[in-house]
Amino acid sequence: MVNKWSGKVTEESDPVDLEEGVFTSKNPKEIAKAVKKSAEKGKHDESNDFRSAMSMLNFYINRAGDNLSRGQLKVLNQAKDELKKLFGRESK
């Protein structure tokens, strides 16, 4: 039995098809592209791809917590902005 919410999410969610180390990249565009590609392969309708991709990024950021350097946190937050651009959801 899994006691932590993150373990439960990991066990019950659709498997994520991401290259190993994608979240440690220093290139926010590459991270966004990889997460988008993975979300589009998921078992949900197309309208949820953006939400799924953003959830992957947020989940990683939250799980990494204090283990993320300020620099990598900045890159991951930039990847969120890139993801919005890729899905045409830029704030105006």
Q: Is residue 61 part of a domain?
A: yes
Q: Is residue 42 part of a domain?
A: no
pLDDT given for residue 44 in this prediction:
62
**77, 69 Cβ separation under 8 angstroms:** no
Q: Is residue 84 part of a domain?
A: yes
Q: Which tens digits make up the pLDDT trace of 31-56?
A: 999 999 988 887 666 668 999 899 99
Domain count, the chain: 1
Q: Is residue 34 part of a domain?
A: no
pLDDT given for residue 69 in this prediction:
95
Q: Is residue 87 part of a domain?
A: yes
Q: Is residue 73 part of a domain?
A: yes
What pLDDT band is residue 12 in, cutting at 50, 70 and 90?
very low
Q: Which residue has the tokens 């966004």?
A: 32
pLDDT given for residue 4 in this prediction:
59
Residue 79: pLDDT over 50: yes
Q: Is residue 33 part of a domain?
A: no
pTM exceeds cut of 0.85: no
Q: Is residue 26 part of a domain?
A: no
Q: Give the Cα separation of 17 and 34 in Å (integer).
A: 9
